Structure 1
């Protein structure tokens, strides 16, 4: 298994409010996270960074997670704890009032990945069946699509596209989606913020992640394309590849 994390401020924003990374526990199991902070400069930065710092520190102390149930339980408990930390911080610090962050996090073993998500940062799986989104956006526009009020094409250009129905840290309690996927050799998992998914189509993503470049080159190409398409937002992604190759990446 190989993995790469990459983030970019984009071409318009003054600051990068995204955070993320790939972290190892004592058994060498990876935890990959992308968090897209919101609430303006300072507040958005604080929310996403606190999320990453807290989860990465706790992950170091994990001995083993043998089953998807163990992985789901760890993610649920610790993300709920982080939600309370963020909420209390915003209550106690007026300059951070209303701050929050999206999160998509994946515990990646050799056999499976367990993914938690809140908000509109996404997980995608590329395998022999193609390239598909494996998380559900918690956004107003996605709810309108799900209920049949607008089409998926309309959603791309909807004026309220950025309105989230769920975020980490904005309320005392939070609901998250949890899903586990199994891996075959050659499969690839991608986590990303909406700075990528709003600017690069699924077909373009598929073309890049299945080319012959190594992981760093693939990640760089995705960020480059998002910037070519406007780069109005911060762009962050993690790529996890589920087989060993001699190439670097």
Structure 2
């Protein structure tokens, strides 16, 4: 598995409230995370970095996970626990009151990957069936799309497109959406914050993923988002599964 985490503050903001990374447990299994913080002052930084750090610590302390059921249970319990920790931190620190963060985490285990998320940071999968978003945004505009009130194209330009309906750390009890998908040779995964998807559409993301160099592809995605304004922080993880003719990192 080839992997790369990249983040950029963008062209407008002074602080990067995104966080993320690629981590390995004691058995060498991979977990990738993207978190996009929100809150007054620098509380967004606190929420996203806290969520990422706790995910990293929990994953590095975990043993080998063999089945989708085991991975789904681990992700559900871990994110629920982290949600409670972030929520309690916000309650006990006045400067962090109301903070929260999106989170999308992907555990890659041999021939399958399990995706857990809260908020509107996304996971995409490119395989023989095409390119598709495998997470469902917990956002105001996506709720309008699902109800048929607006189209997906309209959602891109809606004035409230960045309103998140569900974020880690904002409620005492919150569970992530979780799903498991099969992975085959040559499949590619993209995790990203909305700083990327607000500026680069799905067709363009798919085109970028035709290139097998993860560093080059990630940099080109970020460059385009910045060229188009870069009003938000931009973060992504690229994961390439056993590319033909290439040795993957495990």
* TM-score bucket (shorter structure): over 0.9
Aligned to 2:62: 62
Query: 1:110–1:242: 8 Å Cα contact kept in structure 2?
Result: no
Instruction: Give distance in 2, aligned partners of 1:120 and 1:225.
Output: 20
Runs of 4 or more, structure 1, over 3 Å off, are 244-249
- Superimposed CA distance per residue, residues 78-132 of structure 1 (whole angstroms, 9 cap, x where no aligned partner): 1011101111111010100000000000001221110001000000001112111
Q: What is the CA distance between 1:248 and its match in structure 2?
A: 8.9
Q: What is the CA distance between 1:247 and its match in structure 2?
A: 7.6
Say if 1:227 and 1:247 are closer, same or farther in 2 by CA, change over 3 A.
farther
Q: Is 1:183 the counterpart of 2:183 in the alignment? A: yes
Aligned to 1:52: 52
Aligned to 1:243: 242
Instruction: Give distance in 1, aligned partners of 2:28 and 2:247.
Output: 21
Q: Is 1:87 the counterpart of 2:87 in the alignment? A: yes
Aligned to 1:129: 129
Query: Normalising to structure 1: TM-score of the pair?
Result: 0.97
Aligned to 1:230: 229
Instruction: Give distance in 1, aligned partners of 2:186 and 2:234.
Output: 25
Q: Which runs of 5 or more structure 2 residues have no equivalent in the other structure?
A: none
Instruction: Give distance in 2, aligned partners of 1:139 and 1:115.
Output: 18
Query: 2:21–2:34: 8 Å Cα contact kept in structure 1?
Result: yes
CA-atom RMSD in angstroms: 1.3
How many residues align? The count is 248
Query: 2:76–2:175: 8 Å Cα contact kept in structure 1?
Result: no
Instruction: Give distance in 2, aligned partners of 1:47 and 1:233.
Output: 17
Query: 1:214–1:248: 8 Å Cα contact kept in structure 2?
Result: no
